[in-house]
Amino acid sequence: MSSLKTRIQKHNSTVIKTNMPPGPFIAKNPQVIAVLDAVSFPILFDTSKVEKYNVLDGTFLPSLSFTGGHRVCAYLDPSETKHTALKSYFMSVLASKHSEFIPLFRSCLSQLFVSIEDGIASHKKANFNNLGQAMSFNYIFRLFCGKDPSETAIGSKGPAIADKWLALQLGPLFTLGLPKFLKYVDDLLLHTFPLPFFLVKSDYYKLYDVFYASSGPILDKAESFGVTREEACHNLVFLACFSTYGGLKVWFPAMIKWVGLSGEKLHRQLADEIRTVVKEEGGITIQALDKMVLTKSVVYEAFRIEPPVPFQYAKAKEDIVVESHEAAYKIKKGEMIFGYQPFATKDPVVFDHAEDFVGHRFVGEGEKLLKYVYWSNGRETVDPTVEDKQCPWEGYGGASVQADVGGVLPPLRHV
Ligand code: HEM
């Protein structure tokens, strides 16, 4: 995204016209208006002014074969009745799992650290990212299906299948990281033609069948929201493999990296806060997490400095005037708006030392800045509803990850 930075400097503006991949055989129109500061970015959340129809991945929609022929919830605009049905259904599923999030996440994390230590003991090394991905998949599978994936026909293949399925859908957005003079290789291989579903079809249906067979009680609930079991199950696979597995795969290592790098002093302060609250509350519970103001701030700070889903898109429903810190811009009806979130959440006008990880940033008065944390596709101070496109995991997400910082993060165990 260094090209965006150059353009901001060249035009002396944080709202600019640009093109985004993929090319014209995949996307009808690659032109976007990029909103790249904390003030203009939230136009993407205002569903009275912007439409969120089929824009999850940007200027193109992957083949619906990847989702069993259905437009899953994340592709739907809030004005569609199906969006209301699916989002209410998933909000109710998440609410029914409320008491399971934290104990389950902690149990999966303990298993992760056992696997890491086993790897180190027997091979002198362990691949944190691979083990972390397996943990994320196990977590979401156990949450929705009530059993470990190893007890089903997919065994330990879930993460590999999810990776392949994700890569084929999102391929048009990737770059191979080749030198500039080989850019045409990227364009030819990834940005010209969509990657076909048949390459993952049999694996996808293996996954689907396992979810269908194992998530009975959740699927039973779907019918009362006007959603068939089949459509609910394709949505469930999408939630598990795209939203959660895809989200945690990026988020979890980033979180560990930032907290790990944050220095001994902060580690000690975190450990003190966590020990004190755990003693008072008798364990890591939702109430206990709420009292851990520093731990919460650290989690928000990691969401701010490296938002797990950096791109957001929306189409102007009408002519809109969008404001940045210094100017106002007219966006015409039908134009695509693109937000690159790390520029918005590291806006130096809003955040001091915006490029630095500041653990205490959101403590005390700093809480006022939470409205500029956008990881969930909405402000951190706002709760998701069926009328918006904010991630329904907002609220649970922070708490689960906080449970990880609070419970078993390795640096903290030794301070
Ligand atoms: C680290 C994990 C996660 C991250 C980073 C994340 C992030 C996001 C983001 C950025 C969006 C908005 C996409 C857009 O419209 O541009 C979204 C939407 C959504 N997320 Fe999450 N999410 C995570 C986990 C989850 C989980 C665990 C669930 C549910 C089990 C979930 C369910 C959804 C749903 C249903 C939507 C669509 C909302 C709507 O259509 O109104 N997400 N998520």
Average pLDDT, stretch 112-119? 90
- The answer, yes or no, to whether any atom of ligand 1 lies below 6 A from the CB of 393, is yes
Is 2-414 a domain of CATH 2.60.120.960? no
Number of separate helices (H) and strands (E) present in the chain = 16, 7
Long-range CB contacts (< 8 A, 24+ apart) of 351-359?
351/38, 351/304, 355/305, 357/258, 357/261, 357/262, 357/301, 357/302, 357/305, 358/301, 359/262, 359/266, 359/269, 359/270, 359/294, 359/297, 359/298, 359/301
Binning pLDDT at 50, 70 and 90, where does residue 410 land? very low
Ligand 1 binding pocket mutation candidate from 393, 396, 401, 402 (most atoms within 8 A of CB):
393
Spacing, Cα 349 to ligand 1 middle (Å): 28
Instruction: Please give the pLDDT value at position 397.
Output: 65
Highest mean pLDDT range out of 87-101, 269-283, 365-379? 365-379
Which residue is listed with tokens 């957001």? 312
Binning pLDDT at 50, 70 and 90, where does residue 383 land? very high
- The answer, yes or no, to whether any atom of ligand 1 lies below 6 A from the CB of 251, is yes
Q: pTM value?
A: 0.93
* pLDDT over 70 percentage in the chain: 93
Contact call for residues 76 and 86 (beta carbons, < 8 A): yes
pLDDT of 401 higher than 80: no
Spacing, Cα 371 to ligand 1 middle (Å): 18
Spacing, Cα 391 to ligand 1 middle (Å): 4
pLDDT of 348 higher than 80: yes
- The beta-strand segments (E) located in 195-324 are 311-316, 320-323
Closest CA to 33 of 338, 344, 319, 317: 338
HEC sequence for 351-394: CCCCCCCCCCCCCHHHHHHHHHCCCCCCCCCCCCCCCCCCCCCC
Spacing, Cα 278 to ligand 1 middle (Å): 30
Instruction: Please give the pLDDT value at position 43.
Output: 98
- The answer, yes or no, to whether any atom of ligand 1 lies below 6 A from the CB of 377, is yes
- The answer, yes or no, to whether any atom of ligand 1 lies below 6 A from the CB of 312, is yes
Spacing, Cα 305 to ligand 1 middle (Å): 18
Residue 284, C-beta contacts closer than 8 angstroms, at least 6 positions apart = 102, 106, 278, 403, 406, 407
- The answer, yes or no, to whether any atom of ligand 1 lies below 6 A from the CB of 397, is yes
Spacing, Cα 386 to ligand 1 middle (Å): 13
Instruction: Please give the pLDDT value at position 205.
Output: 98
Average pLDDT, stretch 50-76? 97
Domain boundaries, the chain: 2-414
The predicted-structure confidence for 167-178, as pLDDT tens digits, reads as follows 999 988 877 676
Q: Give the atom of ligand 1 at the shortest distance from the alpha carbon of 235.
A: 35
- The answer, yes or no, to whether any atom of ligand 1 lies below 6 A from the CB of 239, is yes
Angle at 38 between CA 34 and CA 42, to 5 degrees: 70
The predicted-structure confidence for 72-109, as pLDDT tens digits, reads as follows 999 999 999 999 999 999 999 999 998 888 889 889 98
